[in-house]
A and B are shown apart, each in its own frame.
Chain A
Amino acid sequence: GIQVEQSPPDLILQEGANSTLRCNFSDSVNNLQWFHQNPWGQLINLFYIPSGTKQNGRLSATTVATERYSLLYISSSQTTDSGVYFCAAKAAGNKLTFGGGTRVLVKP
């Protein structure tokens, strides 16, 4: 099945800093999603982005499907951005596979 790898595993930011999270996947995808898992364990949908670029406030994401990677950008980070960011990808078939996550801590 598809392999999904995220980097870096951990990220410590000062409030106001910008950062980029990366997701590499091993096969052509028809679904690529980014999630934020908040400190209470909830999985929040951030982006559905099998290709192209999208923006939502201070967050944006780009997927380059032909090169098999996706990037999540956090600009002007806030303490509420802390948590774990997951990407998940689906190739042919129905199995949505998760990466290991990037744990983000934003310090005030």
Chain B
Amino acid sequence: NAGVTQTPKFQVLKTGQSMTLQCAQDMNHNSMYWYRQDPGMGLRLIYYSASEGTTDKGEVPNGYNVSRLNKREFSLRLESAAPSQTSVYFCASSPRQGARRTEAFFGQGTRLTVV
């Protein structure tokens, strides 16, 4: 039972390159999230998906797109990377809103550097 798995763990991109961060969970959770954490700061929500087939913007969505491929997988795409997107990215999942317990679990993070 792996929980939330993110790939890759580390990535260096050149400005303007594109890439997709992958996230998969094996806890049968309905909701999934992407956050970014800049140095010395808390986590800020980029996008979330309340259930398969739905996505919604969070606090800092500009420059990102997401795909909820199925119940298990939620990917984050940077179409044209910028140095301001250098950050650590976390994926999370939780049971559906209204469940008895809605505890969220996080992946190990992806450290992205854009040069």
Contact = CB atoms under 8 A, between A and B. Distances in A.
Interface of A: 30-31, 33, 35, 41-43, 45, 48, 86, 88, 90, 93-101
Determine the main DSSP class of B at the interface with A. Answer: strand
Contact of B94 (A86, A96, A99, A101): A96
Interface of B: 31, 33, 35, 41-45, 48, 50, 56, 58, 88, 90, 92, 94, 97, 101-106, 108-109, 111
B53 to A, nearest CB: 14
Given A96-B33, A96-B104, A98-B44, 20 more contacts: A30-B97, A31-B94, A31-B102, A31-B103, A31-B104, A33-B103, A41-B108, A42-B108, A45-B106, A86-B42, A93-B97, A94-B48, A94-B56, A94-B97, A96-B45, A97-B45, A98-B42, A99-B42, A100-B41, A101-B41
A31 B97 CA distance: 10
Contacts of A43: 90, 106, 109
B109 A41 contact: yes
A30 B14 CA distance: 41
Among A30, A94, A96, chain B packs the most CB atoms within 10 A around the CB of A94
Nearest to B58: A95
A43 B88 CA distance: 12
| Top 4 closest pairs, chain A to chain B, by CB | A48-B103, A98-B42, A43-B106, A98-B43
